[in-house]
Chain A
Amino acid sequence: MMVVLAIVLGPIIGGLLTGIDRKITARIQGRFGPPIMQPFYDVFKLIGKEKFINNKVQIVYVITYLFFAMLSLVLFVMGQDLIAIIFVLTVGGGAMVMGALSVRSPYSQVGAQREIMQMLAYDPLLIIAAVGMFMVTGSFKVSDIISYQITHNAPLLYVLPLVFLVLIEVLTIKMRKSPFDISAGQHAHQEIVRGVHTEFSGPYLAMIEVAHWYELMLALGFVALFFATQWYFAVALVVLMYLLEILLDNTTARLTWRWMLKSAWGFGIVLCAINLIAFYFIQA
Chain B
Amino acid sequence: MLDTLLLVLIALPFIAGLLCLALKNHSARAVVVVLVSVVLMITSIMLLGYGDFKYTLGGQWNELITYLDFALLVYIAWQAFYHRKYHSFYAYSAVIFAIASIVMVYYFDFVMAHGVEVEPTFFADKLSIIMVLIISIVGSLICIFGVPYMKDHEHHLNLEITRQPRFFLYLVLFLGAMNGLVLANNIVWLLFFWEITTLCSFMLIGHDKTEIATVNALRAISMNMLGGVGFTAGVMILFSNTHTLSLIDIINSKHPASLLILPLSLMVFAGLTKAAQVPFQSWLLGAMVAPTPVSALLHSSTMVKAGVYLIVRLAPAYAGTWLSTAVAILGGITFVATSALAVGQSNGKKVLAYSTIANLGLIIACAGINTPLAYAGAIFLIIFHAVSKALLFLCVGTIEHGIGSRDIEDMHGLVDRMPLTAVISVIGMLTMFLPPFGMLIGKWTAMEAAAVQPVLLFLLIIGSAITIVFWLRWAGILMSTSSRPVKRVVENISFLTKTPLVALAALAIILNVAIFNLYNTMIAPLAKVYYAKATETFTQVGNGSLVNTVGAFTLWPIFATVIVVILVSIYAVGKAGKNSVVTAPYMCGETADNNEDRPRFRAIADGWVDYNHSNYYMNKVFGEEVLTNGSNIIAIIGIIVMFVVSYMGLQ
A residues lining the B interface (CB < 8 Å):
50-57, 59-60, 63-64, 67-68, 70-71, 74-75, 78, 80-84, 87-88, 90-91, 94, 97-98, 100-110, 112-113, 116-117, 119-120, 123-124, 127-128, 131, 134-135, 138-141, 193, 198-199, 265, 269, 273, 276-277, 280
Residues of B within 8 A of A198 (CB): 586
B568 within 8 A of A: yes
Residues of B within 8 A of A60 (CB): 565, 569, 572-573
- A78 surroundings in chain B (CB, below 8 A): 554, 557
The stretch of B174-182, B270-278, B575-583 that contacts the partner chain = B575-583
User: Which of A98, A119, A124, A139 meets B479, CB within 8 Å?
Assistant: A98
Interface range on chain B (Cβ under 8 Å from partner): 35 or more
B261 within 8 A of A: no
Total of A-B residue pairs, C-beta within 8 Å:
196
A116 to B468 CA separation, bound complex (whole angstroms): 8
CB distance from A9 to the nearest CB of B (A): 18
Evaluate contact between B472 and A199: CB separation under 8 angstroms. no
- Taking the nearest CB of chain B, how far is it from the CB of A268, in angstroms? 11
Contact B580 A124 (CB under 8 A): no
Knowing A51-B580, A59-B572, say if A87 contacts B599 (CB, 8 Å): no
Whether the pair A103, B572 counts as a contact (CB closer than 8 A) is no
Report which B residues bind A (CB closer than 8 A): 412-413, 415, 433-435, 440, 444, 447-448, 451, 454, 457-458, 461-462, 464-466, 468-469, 472-473, 475-477, 479-483, 550-554, 557-558, 561, 564-565, 568-569, 572-573, 576-577, 579-588, 592, 599, 611-613, 615-616
Bound state CA distance, A22 and B468, in angstroms? 33
Instruction: Name the contact of A84 in the complex, choosing from B461, B476, B553 (C-beta under 8 A).
Output: B553
Q: Given A98-B475, A141-B552, decide whether A109 and B613 contact each other with a Cβ distance below 8 A.
A: yes
For residue A71, which residues in chain B have a CB less than 8 angstroms away from its CB? 557-558, 561
B473–A112 CB distance below 8 A: yes
> A84, A110, A124: which contacts B465 (Cβ < 8 A)?
A124
Chain B residue numbers with a CB within 8 Å of A80 are 552, 554
Kindly provide the distance from the CB of A139 to the nearest chain B CB, expressed in whole angstroms.
6
User: In the bound complex, what is the Cα–Cα distance between A110 and B564 (angstroms)?
Assistant: 30
Point out the residues of chain A lying under 8 angstroms from B587, CB to CB. 105
Closest residue of chain B to A97 (Cβ to Cβ) is: B472
B457 touching A131, Cβ below 8 Å = yes
Q: Bound complex: CA of A146 vs CA of B451, how far in Å?
A: 19
A94 near B434 (CB under 8 angstroms)? yes
* A84 and B480 contact, CB distance less than 8 A: no
In the bound complex, do residue A67 and residue B434 qualify as a contact, i.e. CB atoms below 8 Å apart?
no
Inter-subunit contact B476/A98 (CB<8 Å): yes
* A113-B615 Cα distance, complex, nearest whole Å: 7
Residues of chain A with a CB closer than 8 A to B576's CB: 51, 53, 56, 59
A94 touches B472 (CB 8 A): yes
Q: Is the CB of A84 within 8 A of B435?
A: yes
Closest to A104 in B: B599
B residues less than 8 Å from A105 (CB atoms): 585-587, 592
CB pair A98 B472 closer than 8 Å: yes
CA–CA, A176 to B174, complex, Å?
Answer: 52
Of chain A, the residue at the smallest CB distance from B583 is: A52
A116 to B613, CA, bound (A): 15
Rounded to whole Å, the gap between the CB of A2 and the closest CB of chain B is 13
A102 to B476, CA, bound (A): 6
Min Cβ gap B553→A in Å is: 5
Q: What's the minimum C-beta distance from A143 to chain B, rounded to whole angstroms?
A: 10
Alpha-carbon distance between A199 and B483 when the two chains are bound, in angstroms: 11
A199 touches B585 (CB 8 A): yes
Contacts of A104 in B (CB 8 A): 412-413, 480-483, 585, 599, 613
Given contacts A94-B434, A141-B552, contact A51 B585 (CB under 8 A): no
Complex Cα–Cα for A84 and B481 (A): 32
Across the interface, which residues of A come within 8 angstroms of B569, CB to CB?
Answer: 59-60, 63-64
**Would you give 12 A-B contacts (Cβ < 8 Å), ordered by A?**
A53-B576, A54-B583, A60-B573, A68-B565, A80-B552, A82-B551, A84-B435, A102-B476, A102-B479, A104-B482, A117-B616, A141-B552
